[in-house]
Amino acid sequence: MDKKQSTWAVPEKDLRDRVCQQIVQAVVPNYGPLVEKDASSSKYVRYTVVALDAQLSLHT
């Protein structure tokens, strides 16, 4: 996920910051319930909710 999106370029800093914030606000709250819903998902999940939030927040 992060590798592909990290190659995107948004030259305008304000717009880039808003896009990053919107992504974090859309993805992180929905990721936790998705991961917790299925007990077998732990072998497929690469990031915990905290790690995903931290990874995405690096770009904001």
Q: Which tens digit of pLDDT belongs to each residue from 3-29?
A: 666 677 888 989 988 988 898 889 888
pLDDT value of residue 40? 73
- What gap in Å lies between CA 11 and CA 34, rounded to an integer? 33
3-state DSSP assignment of residue 44: coil
Find tokens 């999940």 and name the residue.
45
Q: Yes or no: say if 57 and 28 are a contact pair by the CB < 8 Å rule.
A: no
Which residues, including other chains, have CB under 8 Å from residue 6's CB and lie 6 or more apart? 59
Q: Is the pLDDT of residue 2 over 60?
A: no
The pLDDT, as a whole number, for residue 15 is 92
- Name which residue leads in pLDDT, 33 or 7: 33
Helix count and strand count (H, E) for the chain = 3, 0
Q: How far apart are CA 57 and CA 60, in angstroms?
A: 5
